[in-house]
Amino acid sequence: MHSDEAYSAVINRILSGGADFAEIFLEERYTGSINMVQGEVEGSVSGKLFGAGLRAFKGTRSIYAYTNELSLDGLMKVAERLKAVISQDRVADSVIDFRNEEFVDVCPVLFSPNNVPKKEKVRVMQLAHEGASTFAATISQVVVNFIEYDQNVWIYNSEGVKAQDRRVRTRLAISAVATKDGQMESGFYGPGAAMGFEFF
């Protein structure tokens, strides 16, 4: 993260091309998933993404660019490209006085997904598998997927808004196949919430 003055300079670079409004959207996102087939873990994937989106508005036009080069120089290069698209030189070098936007966290996260051991997640998946596979004698296959998402965002704009948010999602996706008299039917149930592991 850079200083408010640095983000102000990036926004002013965009505005110097004649934009009416400019904003920076920064994100750090963690995603993870575990796949279980017939009660056995088949695979697990997780990863992190860092990036920044810059947007400019001029009249009814909207221009957007994205980069994972988060250095000040990298952000300035993207801002320069947006400025070139807007293409109306004007002076815009005032320091933006960012104000923190206050909000109430209506979905507080008690157990962050990426801090919960995988064995705990697998235990929940095994319970789901057991419930689905023993529901009826005709159930021939059950697939369970555990999906988690944790995104932190920071937003700065030319109106002085400075906001931060955390978006956590947790979901369990259960697919079952029933076979009878040579015919197969499938069913799906996918509970999820804007919560951490406490959802379970």
Is 174 or 89 the better-scoring residue by pLDDT? Answer: 174
**pLDDT surpasses 60 at 5:** yes
Give the CATH class of 4-199: alpha beta
Mean pLDDT within 128-144:
96
Answer for the pair 55, 22: CB distance below 8 angstroms, yes or no. yes
**Positive or negative torsion for Cα 124, 126, 127, 129:** positive
Mean pLDDT within 81-110:
76
CA 125 to chain CA centroid, Å, is 23
Query: Rounded to an integer, what distance in angstroms lies between the CA atom of residue 188 and that of residue 45?
Result: 22
Query: Rounded to an integer, what distance in angstroms lies between the CA atom of residue 27 and that of residue 30?
Result: 10
- CA-nearest of 173, 169, 164 to 146 is 173
pLDDT tens per residue across span 104-116: 777 789 999 889 9
Q: Containing H/E element for 7?
A: helix 4-15
Residue 158's pLDDT is what? 94
Strand, coil or helix: what is 90?
Answer: coil
Kindly state the tokens that stand for 166. 């955390």
Residue 113's pLDDT is what? 85
What pTM was estimated for this model as a whole? Answer: 0.78
Residue 98's pLDDT is what? 79
Query: Rounded to an integer, what distance in angstroms lies between the CA atom of residue 35 and that of residue 143?
Result: 8
Query: Rounded to an integer, what distance in angstroms lies between the CA atom of residue 133 and that of residue 143?
Result: 10
Domain ranges of the chain: 4-199
- How many CB atoms are closer than 10 A to CB 18? 16
- How many CB atoms are closer than 10 A to CB 23? 19
